[in-house]
Amino acid sequence: MESDYQKVKGVVGEVGLERDGERFNAFNVKISMVVDSGKAMTLDQGEQLIKQFRKELLGKKVEIATIVVPCPVCGKGFNTEQGMKQHVRMVHEKRKKKTEPKAAKKTVKGGSRKKSA
């Protein structure tokens, strides 16, 4: 059964521990997230979004799935597209450059040339 809720994308800004209020030696994981709405919004739009999130999320169980961006060359997973692109540039493009034959460079030696008479 598919969820009735739309997926929300964002950037996790903080992950930490918070002491459980009922049990002294128990802790809860706390995650804060900056939501990416995909566009700039006005103050009124932001306040409306906050009201919607409070109504739909506060005090309710949620499921958080990790986002994995796979490398198109080797399949290794990354948290962000930027991380995957950096990996491709640093690992695969570097290997590609090493295996490609270098173009022959014409070198001109400095100094004077002897002219034959």
CA distance 11 to 70: 18
Question: Are 41 and 27 members of one domain?
Answer: yes
Other CB atoms within 10 A of residue 84 CB: 19
Q: What are phi and psi of 16, to 5 degrees?
A: -155, 180
In a domain, 116, yes or no: no
Predicted local confidence at residue 36, as pLDDT:
76
Contact (Cβ atoms closer than 8 angstroms) between residue 80 and residue 69: yes
CA distance 50 to 53: 5
CA distance 68 to 87: 14
Tokens at residue 117, please? 């008479």
Question: Are 40 and 71 members of one domain?
Answer: no
In a domain, 106, yes or no: no
In order along its 117 residues, the chain shows pLDDT tens digits of 344 555 667 777 777 888 888 888 888 888 777 777 777 888 898 888 888 888 888 888 877 777 788 899 999 988 888 889 999 999 888 776 666 666 655 656 655 555 555
| Residues of the domain holding 93 | 67-99
In a domain, 111, yes or no: no
Query: One-letter amino acid identity for 82?
Result: Q
**Residue 88's domain is classified under what CATH number?**
3.30.160
Question: Are 20 and 57 members of one domain?
Answer: yes
